[in-house]
Amino acid sequence: MPAVTVSLEEMLQLGDRIAQDYFRAGWIAGFQGSLGAGKTTLSRSILGSLGFSQTLITSPTFSYLHVYDPPREDLPSVYHFDLYRMTEASFLQLGFPEYLEDPKGVSLIEWSERLQERSPEKMQTFEMRMVGEDRRRVTW
């Protein structure tokens, strides 16, 4: 499992690396960590490195899901979830697993640990923890 310690500014470079190595149609990325660990920042940096508008990329804390149309034809749509305020039962009730099954889309799931029983087998997990005021340890 790769692991790196980065500053919030270096998170942009990490997002670029992850995008180049993993961002493909059908990819599901789960982001785990405490509040302020960098889940949204990493999501924003991955998408920003591919040309998605970083100003439009926000955590869908209250809406649970944001759908981002690709900025180029060679990229898939992105389904960006925030499960902080959601139970696994609610996730199922709202029909969200259908998005995870879209082979032409990419799913980014903040607080993916909330999907205890229904965690997609093919989900790649990124665990983040604060190791200082401006440093994060990211393991995947």
Phi, psi of 32 (to 5 degrees): -125, 145
Which pLDDT score is estimated for 32?
97
84 and 111 Cβ atoms separated by less than 8 Å:
yes
Residue 117, pLDDT above cutoff 90: no
In 3D space, the residue among 62, 60, 57, 61 whose CA is nearest the CA of residue 19 turns out to be 57
What are 45's two structure tokens? 């940096």
CB–CB of 43/110 below 8 Å? yes
Confidence of residue 113 (pLDDT cuts 50, 70, 90): very high
Give the pairing of strands 105-110 and 124-130.
unpaired
The pLDDT, as a whole number, for residue 139 is 97
pLDDT at 116 over 90: no
| Residue 109, pLDDT score | 97
Are residues 117 and 37 in contact, defined by beta-carbon separation less than 8 angstroms?
A: no
Res. 77 pLDDT band, cuts 50 70 90: very high
Please name each of the domains of the chain with its CATH number.
Answer: 3-139 (3.40.50.300)
Average pLDDT, the chain: 94
Asked if 79 and 107 touch (Cβ cutoff 8 Å), the reply is yes
DSSP state of 33: -
Q: How far is CA 30 from CA 56, 72, 132, in A?
A: 20, 24, 23
CA dihedral 36, 78, 55, 87 (to 10 degrees): -40
Amino acid at 107: S
Grade residue 75 by pLDDT with cuts at 50, 70 and 90.
very high
pLDDT digit string, tens, across residues 35-66: 999 999 999 999 999 999 988 899 998 899 99
Cα–Cα distance, 72 to 36 (Å, whole number): 31
- Per-residue pLDDT of 5-34, as tens digits, reads 999 889 989 999 999 999 999 999 999 999
pLDDT of residue 60: 92
